[in-house]
Structure 1
Amino acid sequence: MKNFLVTISFLLLLCYSAKAQNNLCSNPTPFCTGQTMQFPAGVNAGSAQTGPNYGCLGSQPNPAWFYFQMGTSGPVVITMSAGQDIDFIAYGPFGSLSGNCGNLTAANTVGCSYSGSATETLTINNAVAGQFYILMITNFSNANQQITFSQTNSNNAGAGITNCGVLCSMTVTGTSSLCAGKTATLSATTGTGVVSVTWNGPAGFSSTGNNASVPNMSSTGVYTAIATTSGTNPATNTCSISKTITVLPLPNPLPSNNGPVCPGKPVTLSVGAQTSYTWSGPNGFASNAQNPVVNPAVAGTYTVAVTSAGGCTNVATTTVVIAQSPTSTPNNNGPVCAGSILSLTGSGGGTYAWNGPNGFTSSQQNPNINNVTTAASGLYTLVVTVGTCTAPATTSVTVNPKPTPVAANNGPVCSGNTLNLSGNGGTGYAWSGPNSFISSLQNPVISPVAAANAGVYTLTVTNSFGCTNTITTSAVVNAVPVVVVNNPTVCVNQTINLTSNGGSTYVWAGPNGYSSNVQNPSILNATTNMAGNYTVIVTSAGNCTNSSVASVTVYALPAPAITSNTPCAGATLSLSGTGGAAYTWAGPNGFSSATQNPTINNVSMAANGIYTLIATAGTCSNSITGSITVNGLPTPVLNSNSPVCMNQVLTFTAGGGVSYAWSGPNGFAASGSNVTIPSANPNYSGVYNVTVTNASNCTATISTSATVNPLPIIAVMGSTVCVPQSVSLTATGGTSYSWSGPQGFSSSSQFPVIPNSAPAMSGQYAVTVTDVNGCSSTSLTNVQVNTIPAPMAVSNSPICENQLLQFNASASVPVTFIWSGPNGYVSGINNPQIPSAIPAMSGSYTLTITDNIGCKSSAIVPVTVNPLPSGIISTDKKEGCIPVCISFSCQAPSFLQSCNWIFGQSGTSSGLTTTRCYATAGTYTVKANYTDINGCSNNSTYTILANPIPVADFNYAPAKPIMGEEVQFTDASTGAINTGWSWYFSNQTNNATQQNPLIIYPEAGVYAVAMVVTSNKGCKDTITKSIIVG
């Protein structure tokens, strides 16, 4: 099998040449699951060796031994697949490959299956990196087949990875872990045949040679050594091994301190937890503590070097600052008077803390004490803090008392009199009050006083400390009452209502000796002689008086009258009134009006009844009533037999009166209570009116709508179909349908379908259509059912790949042919052919025929195109030294029926396996013609090398050597390209491998010399000669 290059899931490039299996535990075949690999299964290879515990395996025929090594720990699932039944048992883990064949026990068994399946699965849930596992597979079916290995969980997170380095003659060593920024070194130790080594890795890293270095490492990565080997088939192979270099991160110190601190105070240096610490700073400071204390603190930069648990070191700094001490300067605005604002002020920056008399505290820089009392006098302390540094200072405060004022007045007083104000309790006085009053007198006077002088007067008194206090006094000034009266106007018999206000007592006087002490007196049943002036005297609650005069007017009443017409309901009722200057009407059915002669249009019977008229002259009114009659309209009744269908009789009937007058569409007019229209048509559809007159000669009109529906218009359609297509009938124009036709057909469907048509169904079909109005009509249509031809279709299937696929079709009547099939195949001839058919053309082919009237029929022809067998020639070896015998076998994924061998001039053979021997050196081509169970044939060729055997010979000089003399041996072999020599000298402890060795014989005698010559193909020959040394 040719060498091949694959890319595996974890990015290693590996080369591998398929090897023949071994049937002994002592010589297992290596494999890895980073790639899909195949090995031939053992055939006729006997049973497995004795000694190991074979667990679940009931038998162990045709054993094949393999091994693999884990590169990365984790679960691994390995699938083994073949054409027929295989079984397996797996052992491990083992620390090394050697010495394990005697330790294959039940305790070391990691998997076993004796199922009848051609696919087996080995699952190791926690395979260990670096450990070896041994696997034996038995070919239970003894079939000539290949075993395929693959790992099915390789793409899963955390999956174990096998070491494909077991396939490569190279080992890789070097740095496994280092700190970030350091340089990693890598080294590849190679075996015979490796001609060069190249390296690659993350971030485009590459290097050539067995040794490589990666400077300034910053992140963990996988670095791969790729070995190039020399060979003959192919001439050059590559294999690779990867190594992970772990980069340990540098610690991130992030040092800090609790500064700024006050002068003379300690400072604490801090850094995150690591494994060791080295501090240095000003004045030679040094410490190995994680969080050292400097006491007293010294300003400056402190450096710390920290080392992580991984041994990586990093350096960082922190700066210590010494704060300045604050200053405190308190002050106040005293002395102040009690009740005012005491203002304290401070300076110095930072924060502030005040305390003083009467429990005072504050954190403001400049606090105020509102409404201060004399208890606030005393010493106040201010502490200024900047950072953690403080400074205290004091200020003295004086609070003077306020005076106690007294204020009074002589109120209440009436407007126009004198208001006296009086004050006491101080050395100075200041008055203010209503109407912009001010005075600096102790006892001021306001005369004459007015209502605007009433209110609150404020006295501000000043004592000897200059402190003031305020007091108020309320002055009451009673105003002279303002009297307001009304001037009522009333009609005879109404009540005269007099009103006044502005006081607490009232005295009235008027015409005819009238008097009253009521504020708002009333005079009942007024007469015209009660008109005149009425005087009222008003006294207020403050005992102040005033008076006013009310003028009273009394009018006489009007005399109203009513007249009207007598209308029919629906006409106009006319009312008329007299006897006043203004009129107000009220009557039945909610009637009202303010006109003298109102009318009621379209009057109804509800207007019958009593009407009231109120006549008004000036502010006086009088009323009168009258009975009004409205004659009723007739109540007409109208019926018809509408709707009707065209050509039927349309009938109308009316009632409710003594005479009738008709009108309607299409010029219709008539009289009488019952009228008809024979043979009506849709032109008579519309509104009909009848006017009815009653005995009071009142009329009323009633209307009705009549409809004359047209007969439905039928659209009907039959069909022309082929047997056995369905016959479809169609009709429109109504809401219900009734069909009849040949063979007793009937249906109530609008679109009836007759399945499985036959020629007897041809003929005339009738449909009666009824519309939504119940009107009906009938129509006819024709149906034609044509017979359909029957196709005949065959093919020459099954056939083999590349053979001619042929179809044949015929019909009893003239038709057209259309073939269709897989891969979009279409043909329009009756007997199409497909040359060089391929398996993809297998499937169902459909023949559709169409006659001259469009009837179609189809037939399906199944086709199978069997693929050619994909066999290969397998040998136990591809070359050897003559005479060489080689075993050949035909192998294919599917079963082969026969195999015929052609060996050129050396003859032929038959059978799935054969053996041929070659006695003459040369290159031979072997051809195998094989046939599978489908009768399909194919062939393969294979090249065999029969290598020549060298003819060994040598010479030596001198021809008669003497003891102690150098003897030159010279190779004289022929017959092949010789590349190796092995010399054996009977007098020498060390033999020679040079082509022409030089030997010294120290003593005389007869000595045997043997030479084994080896060709470049490994073929050997031996010659022995004797040499006489004198």
Structure 2
Amino acid sequence: VCDDDGSANGLMPRISRTGLTPGETLWIRFWEYGNDNNGTFSLCAQAPPPAPPAATCQTAQSFCTSTTPNTIPNITGQPSTAGGGIYGCLTTIPNPTYYYLQIQNSGSIQITISQTSTAGVGVDVDFVVWGPFNSLNTTCTAISAANIVDCSYSTAGIEVVDIPNAVAGQYYLFLVTNFSDQPGTITYQQTGGTGSSNCAIVCTLAATNNGPVCAGAPINLGASTVTSAVYQWTGPNCFSSTLQNPTVVSAPTTPGQYVYTVTATTPSGQTCQDTTIVTVSPKPVLAADTSFKICSGSTANLTTIYTTTGLSSAWTLGGITVANPAAVNVTGRYRLIAANTTGCSDTAFVNLTVDTVRSQVTTQQIVCTQTATITITNLSGIAPFQYSISSNPGVFQTSNQFIAAGGTYTITTRDSLGCTGTTQATITIVPELTVNAGQDVSIVSGDRTQLLATASGPTTSILWTPSTGLNATNIFNPIANPAATTTYTVAVTNSLGCQAQDDVVVTVIPYCIKVNNAFTPNGDGINDLWQVYDSYDCLRNVTVNVFNRYGKKVYENRDYRKFWDGRFENKPLPDGTYYAVVDFTLITGRKISVKTDLTILR
């Protein structure tokens, strides 16, 4: 917990707790010293950074001695713990690093340890060595002050470790500290003795990552291969994984540098550890989404809306790249993705409305006048609207109606943004309405005729009355088939509601065809002539042909009027049965053909 006055020894001292358990509740009391004044305070809770590789005995790493120097980075930034006791001469233990080695060849071993800063200047290095141990598993549990082999707590930057009478197969545990907490390197080199250590147990591990990454982006972690080892990764936000190379690990959402630690444990119990620092970069922050409008025919410059200096930017509309974001003229939701060199990005949207003013007009002739009303309906644009007509150009009104004579006009609509649109209005003046029902007509009973009415102009409705005998009452040319003579009236209405009507008479003439199949031309004045009709009223023409039983024509007449007396070539035909064909042409023009046997009896 941090105090609120910015100093390490302020009136409210800094306090710390270690070994906390997740879910544990801590109570902290605050009070004001000296005066009873109202005020505020701040509370800052911090977790120490994770321990680096080999920071504890349990994570001790293997190494072997050699006459060739072995240089590795030292450890800094770790809390110092109390020494003494099993730590021998070490009064304090700042930045501890644990190593172990196994003796390969018996004999004494002398190892020189030197520590230098990043500037190459020697810095204080201290150590303690325990041993010997018969197995690796007992190195941490069996250490005591009694099995300290060598120890040094001097201020020197170079120390010498002496291991006398080392026996092959035994283990020794090293603890080396960085008292000055200065970053640098530590170098190990065997500088004397007849013994040697087993380099086959050395476990080397290298941790890597694909950073820098963006806040919240996936991280890919990697560890070098240690034969048959089991891996354990730990990191911020309680991250844990047993994969050698964890992928798609969610990065912290707060920019900064984060330490991820991997430990590899071999079947023999050997462990090696390494850390990798993931840099989480901040993402760019664009301003809030915005919306604006432009008039149709103009363009908008999207590049001036957001500051993207030092960023790569990409504008899209509907997933398609905008070719020229400095001059767009299409309505839509434009998307900007701005990214920094790390690839971190932010997204903003611009809702652009291209204000297109569109209207439609309707015209309605005023009844009994030669003028009409033009009514404008707005299809698009931003209300309120104003209107102008080409017969009075430049003069706008709020009413959406004009009264004008016949002709074509240009209507201009202007909306609240000042955008304009035009549309054409054509007024057609309908003249006075008249209707002609057509000529009177005669038909034969049972026959039909087509009525042919015409109007002087367009109509919106047609009605024939009566409907008796008509196949339709709402068309100009219905088919009439009345049973008796009928006067039909047609009434029409135009778009203005004006009406007109006219009559036509359909005269029905009784059916007059009646072909007798026998007659007696014996001069007694009864049935002496062959009759084929009752009256000639329904006929226009009658043609007859009579044949004997041998197919020879014995009579022909192309305008028969009931005067054949059964003679052929001026001689009476013998009594008998003949064959007759009678072709009638009715007054309507329809043709009827009757074929019948014809008997002559005297």
Q: Which TM-score bucket, shorter chain as reference?
A: 0.3 to 0.5
The structure where strand makes up a greater share of residues is 1
Could you tell me the TM-score, scaled by structure 2's length? 0.42
Return the index of the structure with the highest Cα Rg: 1
